[in-house]
Structure 1
């Protein structure tokens, strides 16, 4: 006799309500929502000072930022851009300082990075010694070199005297002050460029180097045709970071030469010039104009270097 067995249906899962649309939207954009508070905070820190400076540049504010001021439109910009006694010389010194410091720092940084690329005995101590200038603050570095280059008691002239060379004005000279400050900047910031380039060198593959060595390429040929093209993206980053920083240099210049960049404004760059207008003469409208123009110059330099970096990646 056959028995008929019946199978029970599995219990039906409870129905879940449909997910709200706003939950789906939040889930799709969660990375932006998590970063939004920080982005808003940073934007507020940038937008408000920039907007306030732009507003002051269109007024004749002086004496105090809270004092009554009149709207003058673009008059400050016309006055600044036609100033051939202080503004345009400051632009020239800024460009000279930036380009000269950047060239020396990149060349010396590349040389140091290549020397430290291969392991050798005592390399850790050498790396620590090379990075020592980065430990000190720029103001302390400026004051230290100001004492070293003092024309009367400075060690630099004493060393020159050992070789029968007469004392040099260094920072006190009208034509030697700017090259001397460039040397100080190069002394402090070349290790940073070397560190960036060394990181790029250590990430390169050894296979292209070995292939070029087997083909009989010399050391210079391997560097010129193998190492440098592969290192170009990292080199562009180093130029971008250090170039923008050198363009904004203020502390070393002010620590070594004081207000106005010296008696003859020999190291007065745009940063030093704008600082003097604000805190020495209280001409806030004109100083804000100089800062806005300087800001546009920095943006232009960043755009040019970023475009060059994209070309290097291609």
Structure 2
């Protein structure tokens, strides 16, 4: 029979060998539970005819909600298109501008700290506050944007109030707020790059553009993909700015109605909880697919 001290020693040895899991375990269990329950409940609602109230009697209807959603060519598929356009447009511009700003701030210069603080200011404000601020700036009659255009002899624009211009305008607003985040990520990546490859290319007579394209960018590729991954998840889920500026339905013509706005309307405007849950499950699977693709790309890009 082993002594109590031997048993406690084995337990202590086990805990010491697996201390990272023991210490992180409670938080991990809590996070998984907080994610699993809402996801399971949404999945359950998506296969029922839940409407009017989530407490009302529900009937299992299988995949009928999914079939109805996937055949909705008036609202669902246009919302998918707008979600893709908003996400791809915002991410592409944020990566380009973020890279330019990161490269400009990479080398030390006088006043660099002040410039960095100024660039980070958009991140301080909440998305709703940002949306309301730009809504005032882009107001067609008294907004500062059209007043500036009048000074340079350009006709006034409808901006957010124009159904044809609303989505591009809100992409610009998202780019204004979140480019600093991409800049920070890319600056961290640039700071960690080894200097020898760039110096070798410089000695070989490579121009600045050649060094960036053939040396810096390939080395920075994992960081770029990480920035795209983080911002893609956020951009796909964007709700605050769109709802704060255009309200229910993403505008009178649903011009900025993304999947988030569409699902919100089904839930809280029409109380169609089964349908909205089906939309959210489909949306969740889309996000998982995007994340999986980007993670695989990042693994291939890693040196």
Match of 2:6 among 16, 19, 28: 19
1:197 aligns with 2:186: yes
1:299 aligns with 2:288: yes
Aligned residues: 300
Structure 1 residue 68: Cα displacement: 1.3
1:168 is matched with 157
Match of 1:61 among 50, 54, 60: 50
1:286 aligns with 2:272: no
Comparing both structures, which one devotes a greater share of its residues to helix? 2
Structure 1 residue 23: Cα displacement: 4.9
Structure 1 residue 28: Cα displacement: 3.3
Separation in 2, partners of 1:17, 1:147: 72
1:219-298 alignment to 2 at 5 Å?
219-298=208-287
Structure 1 residue 55: Cα displacement: 0.5
1:30-69 alignment to 2 at 5 Å?
30-69=19-58
Structure 2 unaligned blocks of 5 or more: none
1:137 aligns with 2:130: no
Separation in 1, partners of 2:128, 2:4: 65
Match of 1:75 among 64, 68, 71: 64
Separation in 2, partners of 1:17, 1:33: 22
TM-score, with structure 2 as normaliser: 0.96
Structure 1 residue 26: Cα displacement: 3.8
Structure 1 segments, 4+ long, off by >4 Å, are 15-18, 21-24
Provide, for residues 78-128 of structure 1, a one-character-per-residue CA deviation record: whole Å limited to 9, x for no partner.
000000000000000000000000000000000000000001111111111
Given the superposition, is the C-alpha separation of residues 68 and 24 from structure 1 closer, same or farther in structure 2, using an over 3 Å criterion?
same
1:116-135 alignment to 2 at 5 Å?
116-135=105-124
After the TM superposition, which of the residue ranges 120-129 and 202-211 deviates more from structure 2?
A: 202-211
The higher radius of gyration belongs to 1
Structure 1 unaligned blocks of 5 or more: 1-14
Given the superposition, is the C-alpha separation of residues 281 and 16 from structure 1 closer, same or farther in structure 2, using an over 3 Å criterion?
closer
Given the superposition, is the C-alpha separation of residues 17 and 89 from structure 1 closer, same or farther in structure 2, using an over 3 Å criterion?
closer
TM-score, with structure 1 as normaliser: 0.93
2:104 is matched with 115
1:10 is matched with none
Structure 1 residue 215: Cα displacement: 1.0
